Amino acid sequence: MKKNLLPIFSFLLLILACQPSGNSKNSAASTPLKQEVDKPFSDLIKSDRFIVELTGQNPSNMSLVFSIKRYDGQEIYRQVIKAKELIDNYKHTVDLEKEADQIKFLQEETKLFFEDENFLEPAVTPGENPDENTEDKAFYSALKKSGLNGFKYRLSNEMKIYIAWSALDNKVKVYYKCC
């Protein structure tokens, strides 16, 4: 009889080991989602590290934290985007009534943050000219001459932020805000 119980016991252990532990809703929200990518930004050759992380336990206290660390390890940019603000900016175009949908939306935003189209190489092409959405025309002109790369991220369907490294000011600056 003991010989017959061993395969059954082993089978039950195998089934239990394959089961997800805890509440899947809570574990999805409590597991931070982090994306990292290395791209030239403050230098045309050396790569900086772009990092975005979804922090917090639920949409009311979650944030999307975006930072850039220069090739030498120095943090040169940090932007904290409150999840509630991001959700509020999209709730007219995306169904975000349920908390589970909000968390899924935030996780997807984190995953898509570093799409190739957001890395602008160069930030300003030779044929581009500043318009009414250009924050700093002198910086825009300097970017055009330097050929440094840029990056854009969105805060809503109507607002994208374009940033680049300013060699003159030795910091990351916004050079364009647009729809």
With beta carbons less than 8 A apart as the criterion, state whether 53 and 33 touch. Answer: yes
Is residue 145 exposed (0-12), middle (13-18) or buried (19+ Cβ within 10 Å)? Answer: exposed
Q: With 0.85 as the threshold, say if the pTM is over it.
A: no
Q: What is the DSSP letter of 131?
A: -
With beta carbons less than 8 A apart as the criterion, state whether 45 and 21 touch. Answer: no
Question: Residue 91: its pLDDT value, please?
Answer: 83
Query: Taking the CB of residue 46, how many other CB atoms lie within 10 A of it?
Result: 12
Which residues neighbour 139 within 8 Å (Cβ) at sequence distance 6 or greater?
Answer: 164, 166, 168, 173, 175
Which residues neighbour 60 within 8 Å (Cβ) at sequence distance 6 or greater?
Answer: 83, 84
Tokens linked to 172: 């990351």
With beta carbons less than 8 A apart as the criterion, state whether 89 and 73 touch. Answer: no
Place of tokens 């904290």: 80
Q: Is the peptide bond before 122 cis (omega within 30 degrees of 0)?
A: yes
pLDDT per residue as tens, the chain (179 positions): 555 544 444 443 444 444 444 444 444 445 469 999 999 999 999 999 999 999 998 999 999 999 999 999 999 999 999 999 999 998 888 899 999 999 999 999 999 999 999 999 999 999 999 999 998 999 999 999 999 999 999 998 889 999 999 999 999 999 999 98
